[in-house]
Amino acid sequence: MCWKRRTGKFRAAHSSSALAVNSFAQFKGALSDLYLPGSKDFSSLCFERKCPHGLAGRHSPNLDFFAEGPGGIVAIESKCLEPLTSHPAIFLPAYDAEIRDARRASTWFAQMQGLVEYPRTYRWLDAAQLVKHAFGLTHSFPDRATTLLYLYWEPANRANHPFFAEHRAEIDRLGASIAGAAPSFISMSYPELWQRWSGVSQPQWLQTHVARLNARYGVTI
């Protein structure tokens, strides 16, 4: 199931869903120009993609953006201001009781077990949400190469605010703890991705697109 229009929250300036749509919707007619870490040569994309995790009666994880092609899948969890709020980990008992397939031996499952025991391992990073996405991707696409990309906003003056360094440190800590896991985990800020898109070798429309994104989101706080 792909993107369904949302009003209200979607229209908010701080909407992470709108941030993803504003960034990626232009590629619907130019898939060959889309660069994402983790794969290339995409053949389709969509927004608000559900990836069932196989737990009976539980809502499936909902990814903000999803691109796939012959080389594999890149699924994006988009963040704008959400990391400014603390995120203790919460898992229903069903995750331990019902996951009995190969995922139970994965590094992602070990990460879940650690978070259940120490739910405040991460303060700003919603690690539990990422683990649930990983379970959904593995269950939905067991035979495909998949990448879970954590894509987050930062202001132009992030160096002036220690919080953003703390958030990055938590991302790096999670990444180190699940290195080599499937799906693979990659993180990048939106400004870093846009900078990659704005290279001189890129088509003019994409450079113009990046300039508009930076004008809208490249603010200082």
Q: Which pTM value belongs to this model?
A: 0.93
- Identify whether 181 is part of a domain: yes
State residue 60's pLDDT score: 87
- Identify whether 21 is part of a domain: yes
Task: Give Cα 118 distance to the centre of its chain.
Answer: 23
State residue 202's pLDDT score: 87
State residue 9's pLDDT score: 53
Tell me how many domains the chain contains.
Answer: 1
What is the domain-level CATH number for residue 189?
3.40.1350
- Identify whether 72 is part of a domain: yes
- Identify whether 106 is part of a domain: no
The stretches in the chain having pLDDT less than 50 are 1, 3-8, 10
Sheet with strand 44-50: strands edge to edge: 44-50, 62-69, 72-79, 146-152, 184-189
| Average confidence score pLDDT of the chain | 92
- Identify whether 20 is part of a domain: yes
User: Could you list the residue range(s) of the whole structural domain that residue 208 is in?
Assistant: 8-82+133-217
Tell me which amino acid residue 68 is. E
